[in-house]
Amino acid sequence: MYSLKFDVVVFILTIKLNSVLSSKEDSSYWFDLGKNDINNALNKPVIQGTAKNVILFVADGMGITTTTAARIYSATESGYLAFEQFPHVGILKTYNADKLVPDSASTATALFSGIKTNYKTSGVDSSVKLNDCEASLKPEARIDGLIKWAQDAGKSTGFVTTTRVTHATPSALYAHIPNRGWECESTIPDDSKKCKDIARQLVEDEPGKNINVIMGGGRQCLQSNTKDLPGDPVDTWACFSKDGRDLIKDWIQDKKGRDKTYAVVQNNEQLNSVKSSTEFVLGIFANGHMAMDYARNKSPKGMPSLSNMTQKAIELLHNNPEGYLLVVEGGLIDYAHHRGHARQALDETVSFSDAIRVALEKTDPQETLIVVTSDHSHSLVFTGYLSRGSNVLDVAQESVLDKIPYTSLLYGTGGPNNYQYSSINGTVSRADPSINDTRDYQYSQQAVVLTDEVTHGGSDVLVYAKGPMAHLFHTVHEQTYVAYVISYAAKMGQFKNNSQRIIVPSMFLVLNMLLMGISI
Please indicate, yes or no, if residue 83 is contained in any of the structural domains. Answer: yes
Q: Is the dihedral of CA 121, 462, 456, 164 positive or negative?
A: positive
Bind-site residues for Zn(2+) = 60, 334, 338, 375-376, 456
pLDDT in tens, 180-192: 999 999 999 999 9
Please indicate, yes or no, if residue 134 is contained in any of the structural domains. Answer: yes
Same domain, 100 and 172: yes
pLDDT in tens, 67-92: 999 999 998 899 999 999 999 999 99
Please indicate, yes or no, if residue 234 is contained in any of the structural domains. Answer: yes
CATH number of the domain within which 103 lies: 3.40.720.10
**pLDDT cut 90: percent of the chain above it:** 87
Same domain, 225 and 204: yes
Does 510 have pLDDT greater than 70? no
Same domain, 463 and 355: yes
Angle formed at CA 416 by CA 414 and CA 420, multiple of 5 degrees: 85
Name the band, by pLDDT with cuts 50, 70 and 90, for residue 517.
low
CB 487 within 8 A of CB 113: no
Please indicate, yes or no, if residue 391 is contained in any of the structural domains. Answer: no
Does 209 have pLDDT greater than 80? yes
DSSP code of 182? Answer: -
Bind-site residues = 60, 167, 169, 329, 334, 338, 375-376, 456
Please indicate, yes or no, if residue 279 is contained in any of the structural domains. Answer: yes
Does 508 have pLDDT greater than 60? no
Q: What is the pLDDT of residue 512?
A: 52
HEC profile of 445-479: CCEEEECCCCCEECCCEEEEEECCCHHHCCCEEEC
Same domain, 303 and 168: yes
pLDDT in tens, 410-467: 999 999 999 999 988 888 899 999 999 999 999 999 999 999 999 999 999 999 999 9
C-alpha–C-alpha distance, residues 209 and 174, integer Å? 9
Q: Which is nearest to 304 in space by CA: 234, 217, 212? A: 217
Q: Please give the average per-residue pLDDT across 463-488, as a whole number.
A: 98
What's the chain's average pLDDT? 92
Please indicate, yes or no, if residue 463 is contained in any of the structural domains. Answer: yes
Same domain, 488 and 363: yes
Into how many domains does the chain fold?
3
HEC profile of 481-494: HHHHHHHHHHCCHH
pLDDT in tens, 210-254: 999 999 999 999 999 999 998 899 999 999 999 999 999 999 999
Same domain, 433 and 350: no
Q: What is the pLDDT of residue 423?
A: 84
Please indicate, yes or no, if residue 157 is contained in any of the structural domains. Answer: yes
Q: What is the pLDDT of residue 374?
A: 98
Same domain, 110 and 8: no
Same domain, 468 and 436: no
C-alpha–C-alpha distance, residues 119 and 179, integer Å? 9
Same domain, 304 and 329: yes
Does 395 have pLDDT greater than 70? yes
Q: Which residues contact 219 (CB under 8 A, 6 or more apart)?
A: 226, 248, 284, 286, 287
Bind-site residues for Mg(2+) = 60, 167, 169, 329
Q: Which of 78, 104, 136, 351 is catalytic?
A: 104
Domain that holds residue 8: 2-42
Active site residue 186: no
CB 309 within 8 A of CB 57: no
Q: What is the pLDDT of residue 502?
A: 53
Same domain, 153 and 166: yes
Same domain, 291 and 410: no
Same domain, 413 and 284: no
Please indicate, yes or no, if residue 517 is contained in any of the structural domains. Answer: no
